[in-house]
Copies of this chain bind each other. A is one copy, B any other.
Amino acid sequence: MDPKPAKLNKTPTIRRLPAYLHLLRQLQELGWETVSGTYLADELKLDPVQVRKDLTITGIVGKPRVGFRVTELIAAIVNYLGWNNPTEALLVGVGNLGSALLGYSGFQRHGLTIVVAFDADPRKIDTEVQGKIVLSLEKLPGLAQRLHIRLGILAVPAEAAQSAAELMVAAGMKAIWNFTPASLTVPAGIIVQNEDLSSGLAVLSRRLSSAESEELLP
């Protein structure tokens, strides 16, 4: 028994796993049976040591001189991420971004299905967007509980984010995937995963302006 309970977070590694997975699936289609960590590193512009270390998290061991079995590695990553057992989610906010998320086929491939969407705008209510029905927000609590949905995707305007989050929590959501720039306040134990485009844009903007100044004085 450790005095400190061992964090075991490994977020940077987890973030890289989908890239490994994507590449491995391509290799699998090409008929590769094994692949070396070195090769994966090359393709993904990563350090080979980092690749090997990352892959240990899945529990897979490779063979020296040979590498890793492609099929086995794919299964291990998918399993580690829980992408083999289906998760159902609801979505709140059917604007531009919300509609795109509704129709995004990438989620399906990772075991995530958005089963229903909600919006406050009467013109959208009871229509279908991307083949998914859009309901009034009032129906959220009842439906969420009946369908045992515990993941909510939040894509409303920033001003509406906190109240929508509260509605979600009251309706039993255990996790909120927050696509708004708002910082949500939720009870302890509720998972909030922020996915904000503007932080990516911030990094990109800085890199662009650094590149510019280097052009001038190289």
The chain A residues found within 8 Å of chain B, CB to CB, are 11, 14-19, 22-23, 43-45, 80-83, 87, 96-97, 99-101, 103-107, 110, 112, 130, 151, 158, 174-175, 177, 181-183, 189, 191, 193, 195-209, 211
Contact = CB atoms under 8 A, between A and B. Distances in A.
A151 B80 CA distance: 36
Nearest to A175: B208
B211 A203 contact: no
A183 B100 contact: no
B206 A82 contact: yes
Contacts of A97: 100, 104
A112 B30 CA distance: 39
Contacts of A19: 181, 183, 196, 199
Given A23-B183, A106-B181, A158-B22, A83 B205 contact: yes
Given A44-B183, A45-B183, A18 B202 contact: yes
A18 B198 contact: yes
A193 B175 contact: no
A15 to B, nearest CB: 4
A50 to B, nearest CB: 14
Contact of A211 (B99, B182, B191): B191
A80 B195 CA distance: 22
A45 B205 CA distance: 25
Given A22-B183, A82-B208, A112-B201, 20 more contacts: A11-B203, A15-B199, A17-B202, A18-B181, A18-B201, A18-B202, A19-B199, A23-B183, A80-B206, A83-B205, A87-B208, A96-B99, A96-B100, A96-B104, A96-B130, A104-B197, A110-B201, A175-B208, A191-B207, A193-B203
Contact of A106 (B80, B198, B208, B211): B198
A211 B203 CA distance: 31
B204 A193 contact: yes
Nearest to A182: B22
B205 A82 contact: yes
